[in-house]
């Protein structure tokens, strides 16, 4: 039987140390609490994130190893640049956060389940309203065809999910995000848990201890929360 610490709503800053996370399932650390802005920021600062399905309690994770992108390694290749130019895609930032997260929450293929449950949608919209969560959007005319969202704490960016309605649009969103983050001095995009798709895009796995050491510095670097839409003009050709 799995025994996990239960988080109390009255103590949003209190989390177990990530080293106490289970090995199986990898990274499961605690349950309960809530999805308030204060608690979510406290969690991500410690390398912890929520991940659960509809009908489950809120589950908190800190897996080992951790999957990350290095922004210095993410550059659009010639093929992607041609694709963006051919479709005349337009890149924006923080212009349609709600639409992006709801698109990411839509079922994909034959899989009707999603971890981006309504409570998570509302929680990250609240983070966006508070200036901590951001989105990059890819438009074909007036149609939103791709995007990515996540949250910024200091100079750490935690990527949450991306979607594509046209081939290559999510990759364009990721590369545009990496360009923006490099310009702003963000070296890492946390991708949490590796999968075949993120690894194919250039993500790498690193030990959790290494990840926690790096982010302990990044989260303390000053970055004032706010809307990033002004940066969209810089990404026309990314």
Q: What gap in Å lies between CA 14 and CA 43, rounded to an integer?
A: 9
| pLDDT tens digit sequence for 223-238 | 889 999 998 877 766 6
Write down which residue in 46, 64, 82 finishes a domain.
64
pLDDT, tens digit (0-9, with 9 covering 90-100), for 170-219: 999 999 999 999 999 999 999 999 999 899 999 999 999 999 999 999 99
Within-domain flag for 187: yes
124's tokens: 């990250």
Buried b (16+ CB within 10 A) or exposed e, 35-69: bebebbbbbbbbbbbbbbeeeeebbbbbbbbbbbb
From the list 121, 131, 117, the residue with the least C-alpha distance to 99 is: 121
State the Cα–Cα distance between residues 101 and 125, nearest whole angstrom: 8
| C-alpha closest to that of 21 among 58, 57, 47 | 47
Q: At 18, which CATH number?
A: 3.30.70.3550
Instruction: Quote the domain boundaries for residue 175.
Output: 67-207+220-235
Residues 79 and 117 grouped into a single domain: yes
| pTM, 2 dp | 0.94
98 and 12 share a domain?
Answer: no
Please tell me whether residues 58 and 72 are part of one structural domain: no
């Amino acid at each position: 039987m799995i025994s996990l610490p239960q988080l109390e709503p009255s103590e949003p800053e209190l989390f177990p140390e990530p080293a106490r996370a289970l090995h199986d399932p990898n990274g499961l650390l605690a349950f309960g609490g809530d999805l308030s802005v204060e608690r979510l920021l406290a969690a991500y600062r410690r390398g912890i994130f929520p991940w659960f399905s509809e009908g489950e309690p809120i589950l908190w994770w800190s897996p080992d190893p951790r999957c990350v992108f290095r922004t210095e390694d993410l550059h659009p290749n010639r093929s992607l640049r041609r694709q963006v130019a051919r479709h005349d895609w337009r890149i924006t930032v923080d212009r349609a956060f709600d639409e992006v997260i709801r698109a990411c929450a839509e079922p994909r293929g034959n899989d009707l389940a999603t971890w981006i449950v309504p409570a998570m949608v509302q929680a990250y919209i609240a983070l966006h309203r508070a200036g901590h969560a951001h989105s990059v959007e890819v438009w074909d005319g007036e149609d939103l065809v791709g995007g990515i969202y996540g949250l910024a704490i200091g100079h750490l960016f935690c990527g949450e999910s991306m979607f594509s309605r046209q081939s290559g649009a999510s990759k364009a969103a990721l590369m545009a995000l990496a360009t923006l983050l490099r310009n702003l001095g963000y070296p890492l995009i946390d991708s949490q848990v590796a999968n075949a798709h993120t690894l194919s895009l250039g993500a790498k796995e690193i030990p959790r201890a290494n990840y926690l050491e790096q982010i302990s510095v990044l989260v303390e670097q000053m970055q004032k929360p706010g809307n990033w839409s002004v940066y969209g003009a810089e990404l026309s050709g990314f």
